[in-house]
Amino acid sequence: MKATTIAIWTLLITVLISPLVQSAESLVIYSGRSDKFVKPVIRAFTEKTGIEVILHSAKSTALLNKLQLEGKRTEADLFLSNDAGSLQRGSDLKLFKRLSKSLVSPVKKNLRASDNSWVGLSARARVLVVNNNAKGLDFVDSVFDLADPRLKGRLAITSSANGSFIAGTTVYMLEAGNKKTRVWLQGMKDNSEGRVFDKHSKVVKAVASGRKDIGLVNHYYIYRHLAKEPSAPIRILLPDQGKGDMGVAWNVAGIAISKYSKKKKAAEKLVDFLLSKQGQKMFAEVNQEYPARSDVAAAAEVPAQNSYKVADVPMAALGSKRNATLDLIESVGMP
């Protein structure tokens, strides 16, 4: 009798708690961003909504290929990337659901897909990091000056396979044309003497140590270095700010909802939170990037969003022109 009673109670408890377990929502994100930049915002979302979020992190390109191969079998509800090019490629492959206009309305049109299949969350600027003790750099005020022979052996750049390198080159190609961009690439190849860095942080470190005098990086790497080493002899130089100049190249990290997600409402709640003032403020503080919302200020230490000229290139073009950019880079034989 006793065993029977225990069995009945066990069954009853299972029946009672099963709806609770099943009602707990969860989302899976294929994330091309470092967890440390995403998790603080995700935790805040879960605390607010009770919706758990599972991050599957890897390179954006690999995750996009995985999403494409899996098709209807995918467990991904959302795709998060640090590159507008990857997001637009996913859009072109019809892998995403269209987001509502009301959901993406806080973000300017040039920071999202033309059909609203993805939306930017935060932006980064391609800038120059300069060693304060370096001599003979007064002539540099444009990224194209990095091709000047006077910088031979003094220039630090990342590998041309870096997503930000590719995106920046696309902006320069669209703004200045293929010919000028090819000359620029060749000049930088010569000036770097074939030795490139695998990370932006290493570029900044090389300039800060005096091993190199100038480098091309995303803006926030400068401020992250200074946060660790406040006395480092480096400064930011915002290029191409003169009259008629193209302005600084931007790229965005952004998010999209998987075409095959069965949890559209929960996924929309996450996108809505990431685009809310609270979510955008957290991106600004954690990542030191620029919020996609213009009504949310960037971190105090970085140049204000409206204080300098930005190249007038829609972020979607970083995907649609990506192959042309890769062909140009390959033709020069960039390391």
| Residue 224 pLDDT exceeds 80 | yes
Reply yes or no on whether the pLDDT at 22 is more than 80: no
- Going by C-alpha positions, the residue among 236, 239, 196 that lies closest to residue 220 is 236
- In tens, the pLDDT along 280-300 reads 999 888 889 999 999 999 999
What is the structure's pLDDT at 16? Answer: 41
Model confidence, pTM: 0.89
CA-closest candidate to residue 217, choices 131, 286, 93, 88: 131
pLDDT at 11 over 50: no
**Spatial contact of 41 and 33, defined as CB atoms under 8 Å apart:** no
Confidence of residue 266 (pLDDT cuts 50, 70, 90): very high
Spell 226-247 as b/e; 16+ CB within 10 A means b.
Answer: beeeeebebebbbbbeeeeebb
Q: What share of the chain has pLDDT > 70, as a percent?
A: 93
pLDDT in tens, 177-219: 999 999 999 999 999 998 999 999 999 999 999 999 999 999 9
Q: For residue 158, give both structure tokens.
A: 């990342």
Lowest mean pLDDT among 18-32, 44-58, 132-146, 190-204: 18-32
| Measured distance CA(93)–CA(72) in Å, rounded | 14
Q: Given this model, what pLDDT does residue 24 score?
A: 61
Q: What pLDDT is recorded for position 19? A: 39
Q: How many other β-carbons are positioned within 10 Å of the β-carbon of residue 101?
A: 8
Taken in order 268, 271, 275, 278, the sign of the CA dihedral is positive
Closest C-alpha to 249, from 325, 150, 332: 325
Look up residue 311 and give its two tokens.
């190249």
Predicted local distance difference test score (pLDDT) of residue 219: 98
pLDDT band at 153 (very low <50, low <70, confident <90, very high): very high
124 within 8 A of 163, measured Cβ to Cβ: no
Q: Stretch 97-120: mean pLDDT, rounded?
A: 97
CB 170 within 8 A of CB 184: no
Query: Average pLDDT of the chain?
Result: 93
Smallest CA-to-CA distance from 44 within 289, 293, 269 is with 269
The pLDDT value given to residue 7: 42
Q: Cα(178)–Cα(172) distance, rounded to whole angstroms? A: 8
What's the confidence (pLDDT) of residue 283? 81
What's the CATH fold of domain 25-123+252-305?
A: D-Maltodextrin-Binding Protein; domain 2 (3.40.190)
> What are the tokens at 303?
């140049």
> Does domain 125-249+322-332 sit in CATH 3.40.50.920?
no
Residues in CB range of 1: below 8 A, 6 or more apart: none
Please determine, for residue 152, whether its predicted confidence score (pLDDT) is greater than 80.
yes
Same fold, 25-123+252-305 and 125-249+322-332: yes
pLDDT of residue 226: 97
Q: Which two tokens stand for residue 121?
A: 């969350």
Interacting residues of 181 by C-beta distance below 8 A, sequence separation 6+: 169, 172, 173, 328
Domain ranges of the chain: 25-123+252-305, 125-249+322-332
Q: Mean pLDDT across the stretch 7-23?
A: 39
